[in-house]
Structure 1
Amino acid sequence: MHPDIQSRRDIVDGLHQRSRLATIELYRLIGRPEPVVAFRMVVKPAGRDFFHVVDTRTDKVMGFRRNHNEACALARRLESERSR
């Protein structure tokens, strides 16, 4: 990986961690529990060699893949499309 890309990724990771800690501290200060992040798209095994990507709101199968990593990538892509 190019050093500039790695440097940028390290900076973004650090900023994400600081943001997460600030959010935790905010909820601690106001005395409320943190909201639970619920994912809309989940990956479920379907048979021996397939994985379904299921919309949790409608229980519809939105797609399928033979590889778990590919199914997770599809779920992330669908999740980002649905949140727009």
Structure 2
Amino acid sequence: MHHSIQSRREIVDGLHQRSRLATIELYRLIGQPEPVVAFRMVVKPSGRSFFHVVDTKTDKVMGFRRNHNEACALARCLERAR
């Protein structure tokens, strides 16, 4: 990896960590638990070239796609429909 790309990634990672720590501190100061974002539909690789969209509550495969981006789009669509 080129050194300029690596340095940019390190900077972004550092900023992300600082942001995460600030969020944790904010919730600690106000005495509230952090909200948990739990997705019901998750995309899991299956075999060599397929991706399953799985409902985490029932562990059922709700659909599948050959392309990861299409599988993610299907998962978002199913999330909105629930």
TM-score range, shorter chain: 0.5 to 0.7
Query: What TM-score results when the alignment is normalised by the length of structure 2?
Result: 0.65
What residue ranges of structure 1 are gaps of 5+ in the alignment? Answer: 1-23
Identity among equivalent pairs (%): 88
Structural RMSD (CA): 2.0
Partner of 1:69: 69
Query: What TM-score results when the alignment is normalised by the length of structure 1?
Result: 0.63
What residue ranges of structure 2 are gaps of 5+ in the alignment? Answer: 1-23
Q: Following TM superposition, where does structure 1 have runs of at least 4 consecutive aligned residues deviating by more than 4 angstroms?
A: none
Superimposed CA distance per residue, residues 54-79 of structure 1 (whole angstroms, 9 cap, x where no aligned partner): 00000000000000000000000000
For 1:45 and 1:78, the matched residues in 2 are separated by 18
Number of residue equivalences: 60
Q: Does 1:60 align with 2:47?
A: no
